[in-house]
Amino acid sequence: MISKKADMKEDEACKRKRLYKNLGLLALRLALALFILHGVQKLTSLDATAKFFGSVGIPAPGLMAMVVGCIELFGGIAVLLGLGTRYAGVLLTFVMLGAIATTAVSGVLSAGLPMGLLNMDLEWVYLFAAIAVALTGPGKYSIDKMYLCKNECKA
């Protein structure tokens, strides 16, 4: 009798931990959905984006403006919906690595340490959030988990 009560309490604790984990992953995905806005901004002002990309030394700036804008827009949508989240997380990770390598580093060099690092805090947050969803997946509250791997995946 005592072990049944202990097992029930343990099951409830495990369910609660899974719930919190999945809500945390959902919150992380909602934050990463801000990439949608960045993608729309780049795609609606391609000329200005290409000019900026060229000024920081990105090769083929016109093409890269389109590619980065599409990755941010569609990657953000995918992360928001939890559809292909790991793939979108990988693509967004590469976008953020490129952003840090080209624009943010020059800001650090011009502002000096440690103030320059403070100017790139958002880039680091986006980078590590993208890495996190690429590694963990979307969690239970996603199209991937709800429909695509209903029988085989347990979040």
Q: How far apart are the first and last CA of the chain?
A: 30
Check residue 9 and give its pLDDT: 73
pLDDT digits over 13-42, tens only? 899 999 999 999 999 999 999 999 999 999
Q: What is the largest CA-CA distance in the chain?
A: 72
Q: What is the average pLDDT value for the chain, to the nearest integer? A: 88
pLDDT recorded at residue 26 = 97
Q: In angstroms, what CA-CA distances link 95 with 91, 101, 106, 136?
A: 6, 10, 16, 19
pLDDT reported for residue 120 = 79
pTM given for the model: 0.85
- Return the number of other C-beta atoms located less than 10 Å from residue 10's C-beta: 10
Task: Name the percent of the chain lying above pLDDT 90.
Answer: 67
More confident residue, 145 or 107: 145
Structure tokens at 71: 């990755």
Higher pLDDT, 7 or 76: 76
Percent of the chain past pLDDT 70, that is, above it, reads 82
Residue 147 has a pLDDT of 81
